[in-house]
């Protein structure tokens, strides 16, 4: 059959330097019906969304992280997968070089690595932007990321996709679509995460329950004294809860309070006189003593006035 297909064109192809593989491929394409072509396209499309078992060591981590420490509490997940198997597939994307990169499911990936078993993964063709949006949406749905974890994720997206002024706006759009938050909050998150050195953020941890205001306070302190952040990070006790480490970091980053200055006596009491009316304004701390002093002084003045009052005049006239 092959001879019949290629016999009439073989000599001509050889003369033109065309390979036999090319001739065969052309012949197969000629014989392929539109139905077969559609079927082949369907298979290729299905392969893009296929779920398969992959070697976890061949899957790269993505450039943008969504957890400060994905291994935190991993022991329970390892035991669960060991006992019951992996129930939910992870999502990976195929890169241009043929390698795989995690989109979401890092903890399941790490657990399977630790167990030395293959990981069940859904493979999809995703662009950088699509992968980051899927990563953000899925992790927000499946876990409870803290404020600083979300801020670090936002900052990572902008750093990865917004390397130029032209791409920065698109990166911010990807960030708020991934986290489903307002654009103004994206900017504030990026500013906070950028101001606090990563070494200090990691030393503090996620600090669940601590909102934007407290992290913003730390960010301003880091901007004022950036050289102090590293020393504070190294001195945070690991046995404290993450939120407590955040408060301690703020205290240690804050400047010492200015020494209290004793106000001058003239500033502590003011006396105003208008007609026959005298008004005293005093430091609240002095009011009890001042009141006693005024009462004593008034009483003393009244007593002294009685003692010094002139006696009534008496008649000294002599009788005539």
Taking only the tens place, the pLDDT of each residue in 182-220 is 888 999 999 999 999 999 999 999 999 999 999 999 999
Q: How do the residues of the chain divide into helix, strand and coil, expressed in percent and rounded to 5? A: 60, 10, 30
What's the whole-number average pLDDT of the chain? Answer: 82
Mean pLDDT to the nearest integer, 10-35: 50
Taking only the tens place, the pLDDT of each residue in 229-279 is 999 999 999 999 999 999 999 999 999 887 766 655 556 778 888 878 888
Least confident of 10-14, 53-57, 176-180, 312-316: 10-14
Q: What is the pLDDT of residue 215?
A: 97
Least confident of 38-52, 117-131, 176-190, 292-306: 38-52
Q: Which neighbouring-strand residues pair with 54?
A: 119
Q: What is the pLDDT of residue 149?
A: 94
Instruction: Single out the residue of 157, 160, 188, 159 nearest to residue 173, CA to CA.
Output: 157
Residues of the chain with pLDDT > 70, as a percent, come to 76
Taking only the tens place, the pLDDT of each residue in 58-107 is 999 998 988 888 888 799 999 999 999 999 999 999 998 889 999 999 99
Least confident of 122-126, 205-209, 278-282: 278-282
Q: What is the pLDDT of residue 70?
A: 85
Tell me how far apart the alpha carbons of residues 52 and 263 are, in angstroms, rounded to a whole number: 77
The structural domains of the chain, ordered by start, are: 44-128 (3.90.1530.10)
Tell me how far apart the alpha carbons of residues 3 and 65 are, in angstroms, rounded to a whole number: 58
Least confident of 16-25, 40-49, 182-191, 304-313: 16-25
Tell me how far apart the alpha carbons of residues 294 and 297 are, in angstroms, rounded to a whole number: 5
Q: What is the pLDDT of residue 4?
A: 42
Q: Is the dihedral of CA 53, 54, 55, 56 positive or negative?
A: negative
Give all strands (DSSP E) within the chain, no chain letters.
Answer: 51-54, 59-60, 90-94, 100-104, 119-124, 269-274, 277-282
CA angle 245, 246, 248 (to 5 degrees): 60
Least confident of 25-29, 120-124, 170-174, 250-254: 25-29
């Amino acid at each position: 059959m092959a001879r019949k297909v290629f016999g009439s064109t073989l000599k001509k192809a050889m003369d033109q330097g065309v390979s036999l593989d090319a001739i065969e491929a052309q012949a197969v394409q000629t014989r392929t019906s539109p139905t077969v072509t559609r079927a082949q396209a369907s298979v290729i499309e299905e392969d893009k969304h296929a779920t398969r078992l992959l070697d976890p060591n061949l899957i790269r981590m993505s450039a943008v992280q969504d957890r400060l420490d994905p291994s935190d509490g991993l022991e329970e997940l390892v035991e669960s997968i060991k006992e019951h198997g992996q129930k939910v597939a992870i999502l990976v994307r195929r890169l241009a070089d043929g390698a795989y990169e995690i989109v979401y499911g890092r903890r399941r990936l790490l657990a399977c690595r630790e167990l030395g078993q293959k990981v069940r993964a859904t493979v999809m063709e995703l662009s950088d932007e699509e992968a980051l949006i899927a990563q953000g949406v899925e992790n927000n749905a499946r876990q409870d990321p803290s404020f600083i974890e979300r801020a670090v994720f936002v900052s990572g997206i902008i750093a990865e996709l917004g390397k130029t002024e032209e791409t920065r706006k698109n990166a911010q759009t990807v960030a708020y679509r991934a986290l489903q938050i307002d654009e103004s909050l994206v900017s504030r998150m990026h500013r906070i995460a950028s101001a606090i050195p990563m070494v200090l953020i990691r030393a503090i941890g996620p600090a669940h329950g601590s909102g934007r205001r407290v992290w913003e306070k730390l960010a301003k302190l880091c901007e004022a004294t950036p050289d102090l952040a590293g020393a504070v990070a190294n001195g945070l006790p690991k046995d404290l809860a993450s939120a407590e480490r955040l408060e301690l970091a703020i205290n240690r980053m804050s400047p010492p309070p200015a020494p209290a200055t004793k106000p001058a006596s003239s500033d502590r009491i003011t006396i105003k006189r208008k007609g026959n009316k005298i008004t005293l304004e005093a430091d609240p701390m002095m009011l009890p003593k001042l009141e006693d002093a005024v009462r004593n002084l008034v009483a003393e003045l009244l007593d002294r006035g009685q003692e010094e009052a002139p006696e009534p005049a008496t008649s000294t006239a002599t009788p005539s």
